[in-house]
Structure 1
Amino acid sequence: MRNSKFFILLLTILPWLTAPFIGKSSFKRFLPGTIFMCLYVTAEGIVAEKKKWWWFPYAIRPNVLGEMPLILGPFFVGSLWILKYTFGNFKLYMKVNIVIDTIFTYFMIDRFKKIGYVTLVRFSKFQLSLLFLVKSILMYGFQVLYEKYSPPPHEPCSETIK
């Protein structure tokens, strides 16, 4: 389990090394949608734990969801990257999400199971794929609504007052 802890730590930290390349304006623009989705996924994790959809035998700390390293690392930063490059083109957004979600569901889950990080219990891989699809649509929809109803960002004034 010692190597597993190191792997989980890397899984959480490494995505953040790419965050400076997202750009400050893109980071700020897509942060609301990403935070909304992370809160949603955290709530989903609480429900999943009670209904035993999946199981994280790896305990970070007592009363902390086992999926928090995934949520705070690759999910958070990955959501920012995906929104940055696909927002405004829903078909591309969905294609990218389907590819990434499929890789996670059908390849990474097995790897995580081997190291003792997560196991699907009452959820099949297909059901997990459908859940990811719903979450992708929710995040995109939230970002569309946020941009439609939030005030535009303030532009710095280029004129000087005399």
Structure 2
Amino acid sequence: MKLSKCINVKNSRLLLIIMMIFPWVSLPLLGRRAIKRFLPATVFICLVVKIMNIIAEKRKWWWFYTSVHSKIKGDIPFILGPYFISSLWVLKMTYGKFPLFLITNAILHFLFVFPGGKLLKNLGIVSLVRINSIQLFFILLFRAVLLYSFQFAKENINLGRTEGEVERS
């Protein structure tokens, strides 16, 4: 029997709730400094993702069949769960090493788009409609570069402030 036939809407919702909550267990392992350092970039990219998902919904790039609640869009568990926490982790582990950052994101996005996308479609959670998997993969890579760029700009602005404060003393 196929996995998709064993999973009904109620179980899909439970899976989304678990997927949204489970990554947060690792948050204390990040450390306060890393959270404080990378939180602005992570919040920024999550807002960008939400805006992109609004555009995607209007253009029917993908479609969410299941959500945790009728008043909560289906993308919210993905954004607030694995995407938010993995953005913090990837920045912590790879920031300052752009090639490693890009390779890490390429691997994670490949796994999400190809085997993950097929699984999510079979579970009746989400499927691509007017874009294909390769296009989604490049959208995700673009967002990763945007995340890194925001963090880079933030740190250079902060570095400029720190140097300016030292010069005034």
Same fold (TM over 0.5): yes
Q: Which residue of 2 aligns with 1:148?
A: 156
1:2 is aligned, of 10, 15, 32, to 10
Deviates more, 1:19-28 or 1:54-63: 54-63
In the alignment, the residues of structure 2 paired with residue 62 and residue 10 of structure 1 have an alpha-carbon distance, to the nearest angstrom, of 17
Identity level (%): 38
124-133 or 52-61: bigger deviation: 52-61
CA–CA distance in 1 between the matches of 2:74 and 2:160?
37
Offset at 1:136? 0.7
CA distance in 2, matches of 1:147, 1:53: 34
Matches within 5 A, 1:72-151: 72-150=80-158
For residues 62 and 17 of structure 1, what CA distance do their matches in structure 2 show?
A: 26
Say if 1:13 and 1:73, in contact at 8 Å, map to a contact too: yes
For 2:153 and 2:161, the matched residues in 1 are separated by: 15
Secondary structure, counterpart of 1:60 in structure 2: coil
Provide the aligned length of Structure 1 versus Structure 2. Answer: 154
Per-residue CA deviation, residues 93-116 of structure 1 (Å, 9 max, x unaligned), is 000000000000001111111111
- Tell me: CA distance 1:59–1:9, structure 2 relative to 1, closer, same or farther (3 Å): closer
Residue 50 of structure 2 is aligned to residue 46 of structure 1: no
Q: Is residue 64 of structure 1 aligned with residue 72 of structure 2? A: yes
Q: Give the SS at the match of 1:150.
A: helix
In the alignment, structure 1 residue 24 sits paired with structure 2 residue 32: yes
The one-letter code sitting in structure 2 at the alignment partner of 1:71 is I
Offset of 1:63 from its aligned partner? Answer: 5.0
Letter paired with 1:111: L
* Moved beyond 6 Å, runs of 4+: 151-154
> Do the aligned partners of residues 153 and 109 (structure 1) sit closer, same or farther apart at CA in structure 2, a change above 3 Å counting?
farther
Instruction: Choose 75-84 or 63-72, whichever is displaced more.
Output: 63-72
Change (3 A) 1:62 1:150: farther
Say whether the 8 Å CA contact 1:33–1:143 is kept in structure 2. yes
What's the TM-score, normalizing by structure 1? 0.90
Using structure 2 for the length normalisation, give the TM-score: 0.87
Higher helix residue share: 2
Q: CA deviation at 1:151?
A: 6.5
Q: Answer whether contact 1:46 1:65 (CA < 8 A) is retained.
A: no
Summarize deviations over 1:110-149 as a string: whole Å, max 9, x none.
Answer: 1111111001000100000110111011000000001111
Structure 1 residue 6 displacement after superposition: 1.2
